[in-house]
Structure 1
Amino acid sequence: MITWERRRHLSYGWVIVAVVCLSNAVLGLYVTGTSLFLVALIGEFDWSHSETSLAFSISLGTWALTSILAGMLTDRFGARVVLPLGAAVLASGLLLSSQLETLGQFYLYAVLTGLGHVMLGFTPATTLLARWFTERLGTAIGIVWMGRGLGTLFLTPLLQVVILTHGWRWAFAIEGALVALLIPLLAALLRNPPRQRRRAATTAAPSESNRHSARVQIVDATWANREWTLDAALRTKRFWYLLGMYCTLGASAFMLQVHQAAVLVESGFDPLFVASVIGLSGLVLVVGPIPHGLLSDRLGRELALVISTLLRVLGIVALMQASPVSGALLPFLYAVVYNLGRSGLPVNAGGTVADLFQGRHLGTILGALEFGSGIGGAVGTWVAGWAFDVTGSYQAPLLIVLASTAAPALFIWLIAPRTVRRVVAADSVP
């Protein structure tokens, strides 16, 4: 029987989801806005694509190098400390970027935005959710990542309007102010789960009271009951397969994230039309994560990630063929299909790590894997800009994106989270 106290704690878990979802919406504006700033800064300062892309690579590199630190801080102090601090650092970097005059300043401020991004982003948020939720973790992550779509849908087109009407400096300043508003909200509403729920999150088998609603079945009890530290995880093949998956996910996702607007503009599309395509991406990212969360919780991480990968590949093919001659269909098809697949990445990647390495050190392990994602994104973003400068076209960079998009579907079967914790229907749990 579920007591009133337990029901109250369960309800507050969904308050956590709502708050982190809002935070992710504002962070989504920062992430998707990079491609709009790329076009604006190249136009104003006449920097090359590789020079401008390098700033975003520095930001991602900083994110990568500090991801383990963010995970350790989350394990030590909790996400209620790390997330507001990340908002403060990111807001500072964005506000300073509104005053930049040189490429060197842009690189310097990119360090701040990268540090703020990692402390406000995936690792602290997923660690917090994994400690509040056990059976419905995929669904909770899906709802949180719906916020990324909300930011892209409603805020990114407005950001493009501000860039066109008032300039990129005002756009940076407004973006920084929005991030700063998160600081008091996160500090006031985020909480760590009660001790009994923290213990439940690391327990291998479901308790008698929730056995009939459990959706996760322990397959390898020895693995599941082990106290996983980063050092112990590093000694397993699964961790290195996970690192490979995160590297290729980061490379493909961030190459497109930073360069998608430039790809369409270079193809001959109007910047406002491009902003509408990115806005449509946001709509898809609003509705996509929850179905992916349900699929991940019901079909398992492997099949759900394969479905996600196939959709992303089809979307990239549509982007490669897009041109004003072929009309608006292919850019919009890219926005819908690619981002429908992209919606499943954080759900399945984060859910897989939580399935394998649940425990007190989950944040540190997630941070180590985010290092791979950040390095992949940093290298991939710069390589895409360099390849454009060399070839004068985005076709070669998009082929690299295509290859790195397909790779995670192979890694997830090597990782095989189903052999540790297997997703089962509620009524099939004994």
Structure 2
Amino acid sequence: MACDPQADVLILAPTNIRRLSLLAGFSLLLFLITASTYGSLGVVLPAMIGELGWSFEKAFLGFSVLGVFTGASSWLPAILIRRIGVRGTLLLGSAVLSAGLLGFAGSESIARYYVGAALCGIGFQMAALIPGTHVLSALYRKRALPFGIYFTFGSLGGVAGPWMALAIMGGSDNDWRLYWLVQAVLACVVGAVCAAMVGGSKWLAQAAHDVDVEVEQEAREAPADARIHRTSHEWTVQAALRTPQFYVLVAAYFTHLLTGVTVASVSVSHIGEIGVAAGMAAAAAAAIGAKMLSLESLMQTVARLGGGLIGDSIDPKWLLVGAQAMLVAGLLALASATTVPLMLLYAVGTGVGFGLTVLAVTVLLLNYYGRRSNLELFSLTCLVGAVSAAGPFIAGAMRDRLGGFAPTFQLFAAVIAVVFVAALFMRPPVPPADMVDVPD
């Protein structure tokens, strides 16, 4: 019985087995990288501080170094992929990440720790989001579900990271150096396996060409009022940068990062402060804040998986609009989270909003501008991560001057509300008159 090449169902043909293997491999790599950096650094730091005698201020500055270098290095993977291919970029990125983790393991001075954080940030971009989304977009015609699975594993890495750290350190007399050594080895091994599965550029280029032809054919045959817009053109970077839609998507990506890093950094302290002011014991207030932060992480995971399941059935624009609305509601609830319903609204709102935004932005970039320039466009979008790292600093500065964190959350909610309105009225970009269609 002949197979329909346009069928959406994945059959167990060799090409599809390889696609599924790559989705699994990249998902595992993102899980591991997230777990070993953002997911566990905060858990391991107290042991490092206790042994090395650092101040908390200097130690937690490593988070800012990690965030700044993750965002600021987003241009590098695009250049490397164009020059040495995905396989070479993955191998180099895994090596850089491992070097950063080894820097953590060998930390004797604060300078070496900062260098390790910087290398982990650079390695994160080189081995995680940018090559992962580049390969998956080349393999799948309908991308919401594979992207949803991919980003879901990233969220799970954030959930599992603290448990991994506690398990290894708990079984080795609190040996934090051993934990970083284990993570460095795992990063090398999983990165090498992913690189081997990608193989040479010829197979990936052919798979990408086949997907491009299918997407272009579907876009041409779609009615003018199609539910989901997919461009039948391949935009250049310069043409995309001249459209307001690109900057709406960049702004949305920025707001989700700004919310995520700020909530993760100060929400527990904020809930503790307002809980004590309302007559609650300090320890109980802090415990509630920690539980709400865990619930928020869980909601990120649920949102990304759920968004992947429905992202090819509805316009991802509405996922983005809904995500921005949830962020606004979550931040406003967090600003005055003195009751259980408000705390739940904060956790669900910021968690779902954070989880859905990255998925919606990633899919919309591909739907609006095509795949061939997506590597550069997504890299430019990720650059805002460096700026979003200022969120905790802004929160701290406003706390010192205004006496609490609530004004920060209200300010950020107002900024996101502007992006919400822009996304609500956003329409697909119109290709320039001189732009050619995707070649067959």
Q: TM-score by structure 2 length?
A: 0.77
Say which is worse superposed, 407-416 or 272-281, in terms of deviation. 272-281
Q: 1:197 to 1:161 in 2, by over 3 A?
A: closer
Q: 303-312 or 172-181, which moves further after superposition?
A: 172-181
Partner residue of 1:66?
73
In structure 2, the CA distance between the partners of 1:389 and 1:28, relative to structure 1 (3 Å rule), is farther
Say if 1:116 and 1:202 are closer, same or farther in 2 by CA, change over 3 A: same
CA gap 1:401/1:84 in 2 versus in 1, 3 angstroms: farther
Contact 1:63–1:114 (Cα < 8 Å) also in 2: yes
What is the CA-CA distance between 1:16 and the residue it aligns to?
Answer: 1.5
> Are 2:32 and 2:187, in contact at CA under 8 Å, matched by a contact in 1?
yes
Aligned to 2:278: none
Q: What residue number does 1:395 align with?
A: 406
Distance 1:344 1:219, change over 3 A: closer
Matched, 1:32 2:32: no
Given that 1:59 and 1:113 are in contact with CA atoms closer than 8 Å, whether structure 2 keeps it comes out as: yes
Residue equivalent to 2:434: none
Equivalent residue number for residue 289 of structure 1: 304
With over 3 angstroms needed to count, the CA separation of the structure-2 counterparts of 1:201 and 1:185, relative to structure 1, is same
State which of 390, 403, 411 in structure 2 corresponds to 1:379.
390
From the superposition, tell whether residues 370 and 272 of structure 1 become closer, same or farther in structure 2 (CA, over 3 Å). Answer: same
Q: CA deviation at 1:186?
A: 1.6
Query: Post-superposition shift, 1:54?
Result: 4.0
Report the CA distance between 1:365 and its aligned residue: 1.7
Residue in structure 1 matching 2:423, options 406, 412, 423: 412
Structure 1 residue 368: Cα displacement:
1.2
Asked if 1:129 corresponds to 2:101, the answer is no
Q: Deviations over 1:112-156 (max 9, x none)?
A: 11101111222221111111112x211110011110232233332
Distance 1:408 1:190, change over 3 A: farther
1:342 matched residue in structure 2: 354
CA pair 146-12 structure 1, distance change in 2 beyond 3 A: same
Q: Which runs of 5+ in 1 are unaligned?
A: 421-430
Alignment match of 1:181 (pick from 178, 189, 196): 189
* Match of residue 17, structure 1, among 10, 23, 44: 23
1:299 aligns with 2:314: yes
| Equivalent AA in structure 2 for residue 303 of structure 1 | W
On the 8 A contact 1:252/1:405 being kept in 2, the answer is: no
Between the aligned partners of 2:208 and 2:24, the Cα distance in structure 1 is: 20
Equivalent residue, structure 1, for 2:55: 46
Moved more, 394-403 or 67-76: 394-403
TM-score by length of 1: 0.78
> How many residues are aligned here?
407
Indicate conservation of the 8 Å contact 1:28/1:147, yes or no.
Answer: no
AA at the equivalent of 2:67: L
Aligned sequence identity (%):
22
- Structure 2: gaps spanning 5 or more residues: 276-281, 432-440
Residues 332, 410 of structure 2: 8 Å contact kept: no
Q: Which residue of 2 aligns with 1:254?
A: 261
Alpha-carbon distance in 2 for matches of 1:82, 1:122: 12
Using CA pairs under 8 Å that are at least 6 residues apart, name the structure with larger relative contact order, 1 or 2. Answer: 1
Q: Secondary structure at the match of 1:288?
A: helix
My pick for the range that moved more, 355-364 or 376-385, is 376-385
Confirm whether residue 146 of structure 1 aligns to residue 152 of structure 2. Answer: yes
CA distance in 2, matches of 1:32, 1:154: 7
Measured in 2, the distance between the counterparts of 1:402 and 1:171 equals: 38
CA contact (8 A) 2:336 2:342 kept: yes
For residue 313 of structure 1, report the CA deviation from its aligned partner.
3.3
Kept in 1, the 8 Å contact 2:229–2:368? The answer is: no
RMSD after superposition: 3.8
Cα 1:253–1:199 change in 2 (3 A) is: same
Rg: which structure is higher?
2
| Alpha-carbon distance in structure 2 between the residues aligned to 1:414 and 1:154 | 38
Query: What is the match of residue 426 of structure 1?
Result: none
What is the distance in 2 between the residues matched to 1:161 and 1:263?
29
Deviations 1:24-77 (A, max 9, x none): 2112312233454577777863343xx555433332222233212212222444
| Alpha-carbon shift at residue 279 of structure 1 (Å) | 4.6
Partner of 2:124: 117
* One-letter amino acid matched to 2:373: H
> Cα distance 1:317–1:244, how it changes in 2: closer, same or farther (>3 A)?
closer
User: Quick one: distance in 1 between partners of 2:184 and 2:353?
Assistant: 29
2:279 maps to none
Per-residue deviation, residues 306-329 of structure 1 (Å, max 9, x unmatched): 222233334334444456xx57x7
Identify the range of structure 1 (68-77 vs 310-319) with the bigger mean alpha-carbon deviation: 310-319
1:75–1:262 distance in 2 versus 1, CA, 3 Å: farther
Residue equivalent to 1:233: 240
Partner amino acid, structure 1, of 2:313: R
- 1:198 and 2:208 equivalent? yes
Contact 2:90 2:192 in 1 (8 A): no
